[in-house]
């Protein structure tokens, strides 16, 4: 399957990334689609479901997040869900076609008192035959190793944006903190899920720097979520301007070229995308989506709408 000399690289130059982002759009998409067909079956999408298992009251001040204690959103905090309720949600997601069940908890890092419960949740969801993914904030090496031993497959920890722009978005932790957690996850032999957010007010240079950072990690992330900011009332970014839709396509096409064997996932913001824009994103190399009625605390396209879109496009589900 590895032909045309298309090999994975982790030595990309920033200028090369900038050149890709600035290519004529159709040239970029054509190159991305050629590479996509070397590494993946065509016309196929992987479905992941995402459940917020602990809501709000997070100490971090991420400007985009309604779950931060620093925001004035109307979100009501909720404690860690009970195991039975999580398993019920996971069963429903599997019945609707999900192969991966992702769970998020709004923490700076996992609480010691809750960690044994988290380990039991992983084991119970894994027993259903689903891939498991968690995002719990920052991890130390011991926590990452415990999660791996419990059966966790993926850990999500997004870099969000460039290192230079990050301090304008978050002040309660650093970009290096994010990189340290990713290192702990890799060292525990967990698969990495790591991407970014488009629409934070960042420049195209920031987007290039983010993609450059992701592509030059010691190993490419197994999954790369590409989020479009959903401005939430009460957060500092509630009045953020929407990015140019074609810029989202450019980021996806560039990510596909830089990280050819990674699943590129359309994540938050799909409610703001037309079916035509989503189709263009799939053509540019996206091959995974979060599906279900909710995406943590924000709306997501309905399952039936997604299935109808896949049918119209001739896209099948990855098993």
- Please pick, among 65, 194, 251, 281, the residue that the annotation labels catalytic: 65
- Please pick, among 100, 250, 256, 265, the residue that the annotation labels catalytic: 265
Q: How confident is the model at residue 271 (pLDDT cuts 50, 70, 90)?
A: confident
Ordered by where they begin, the domains of the chain are 14-317 (3.20.20.70)
Question: How many other C-beta atoms are found inside a 10 Å radius of the C-beta of residue 116?
Answer: 11
- Please pick, among 102, 194, 251, 281, the residue that the annotation labels catalytic: 102
178 in Cβ contact with 187 (< 8 Å) = no
User: Mean of the pLDDT values across residues 207-225?
Assistant: 95
The position carrying tokens 């998020």 is 104
Reference 214, options 254, 174, 166; nearest CA is 254
Residue 194 among the catalytic residues: no
Residue 298 has pLDDT above 60, yes or no: no
Residue 281 among the catalytic residues: no
- Please pick, among 133, 194, 251, 281, the residue that the annotation labels catalytic: 133
Range in 3-12, 256-265, 266-275 with the lowest mean pLDDT: 3-12
Reference 192, options 130, 144, 240, 234; nearest CA is 144
Helix runs in 105-238, H state only:
115-126, 141-150, 163-166, 175-187, 204-215
Structure tokens at 130: 């689903």
What confidence score (pLDDT) does residue 70 get?
A: 62
Structure tokens at 144: 């990452």
Predicted confidence (pLDDT) per residue in 44-101, tens digit: 998 888 888 877 667 777 878 877 766 676 667 777 888 888 998 889 888 888 888 8
**Continuous segment of H or E residues that includes residue 227:** strand 223-228
- Please pick, among 100, 178, 193, 250, the residue that the annotation labels catalytic: 193
Question: How many other C-beta atoms are found inside a 10 Å radius of the C-beta of residue 276?
Answer: 9
Structure tokens at 185: 């996850």
- Please pick, among 9, 23, 37, 62, the residue that the annotation labels catalytic: 62
Structure tokens at 4: 């045309």
Residue 251 among the catalytic residues: no
Range in 123-127, 191-195, 315-319 with the lowest mean pLDDT: 315-319
Q: For the chain, how big is the Rg over CA atoms in Å?
A: 18
Predicted confidence (pLDDT) per residue in 27-40, tens digit: 999 999 999 999 99
Beta-carbon-side half-sphere exposure of residue 185 (alpha carbons within 13 Å):
31
Which pairing describes strands 44-54 and 316-317: parallel, antiparallel, or unpaired? parallel
Predicted confidence (pLDDT) per residue in 112-164, tens digit: 888 899 999 999 999 999 999 998 888 999 999 999 999 999 999 999 999 99
Q: What is the mean pLDDT of the chain?
A: 88
Q: Is the pTM here over 0.85, yes or no?
A: yes
Read off φ and ψ for residue 90, nearest 5 degrees.
Answer: -65, -40
Exposure string (b/e) for 80-108, b if CB count within 10 Å is 16 or more? bbeeeebbebbeebbeebbbbbbbbbbbe
32 in Cβ contact with 284 (< 8 Å) = yes
How far is the C-alpha of 237 from the C-alpha of 158, rounded, in Å? 18
């Amino acid at each position: 399957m590895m032909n045309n000399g298309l090999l994975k690289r982790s030595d990309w130059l920033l200028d090369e990334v900038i050149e890709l982002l600035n290519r004529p759009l159709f040239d970029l998409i054509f190159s991305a689609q050629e590479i996509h067909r070397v590494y993946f079956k065509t016309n196929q999408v992987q479905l992941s479901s995402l459940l917020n298992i602990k809501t709000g009251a997070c100490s971090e001040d991420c400007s985009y997040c309604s779950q931060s204690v620093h925001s004035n959103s109307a979100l009501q905090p909720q404690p860690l869900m009970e195991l039975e309720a999580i398993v019920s949600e996971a069963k429903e997601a599997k019945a609707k076609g999900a192969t991966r069940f992702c769970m998020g908890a709004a923490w700076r890092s996992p609480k010691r008192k809750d960690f044994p419960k988290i380990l039991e949740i992983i084991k119970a969801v894994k027993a259903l035959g689903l891939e498991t993914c968690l995002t719990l904030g920052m991890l130390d090496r011991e926590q990452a190793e415990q999660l791996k031993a419990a059966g966790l497959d993926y850990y999500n920890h997004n870099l969000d944006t460039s290192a230079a722009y990050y301090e304008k978005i978050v002040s309660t932790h650093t970009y290096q903190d994010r990189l340290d957690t990713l290192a702990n996850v890799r060292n525990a032999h967990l698969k990495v899920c790591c991407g970014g957010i488009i629409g934070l007010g960042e420049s195209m240079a920031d987007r290039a720097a983010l993609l450059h950072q992701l592509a030059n990690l010691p190993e490419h992330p197994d999954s790369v979520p590409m989020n479009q900011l959903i401005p939430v009332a009460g957060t500092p970014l509630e009045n953020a301007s929407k990015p140019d839709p074609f810029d989202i396509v450019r980021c996806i096409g560039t990510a596909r070229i830089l990280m050819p064997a990674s699943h590129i996932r359309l994540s938050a913001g799909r409610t703001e995308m037309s079916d035509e824009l989503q189709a263009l994103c799939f053509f540019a190399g996206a091959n995974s989506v979060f599906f279900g009625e909710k995406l943590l605390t924000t709306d997501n396209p309905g399952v039936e709408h997604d299935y109808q879109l896949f049918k119209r496009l001739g896209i099948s589900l990855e098993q």
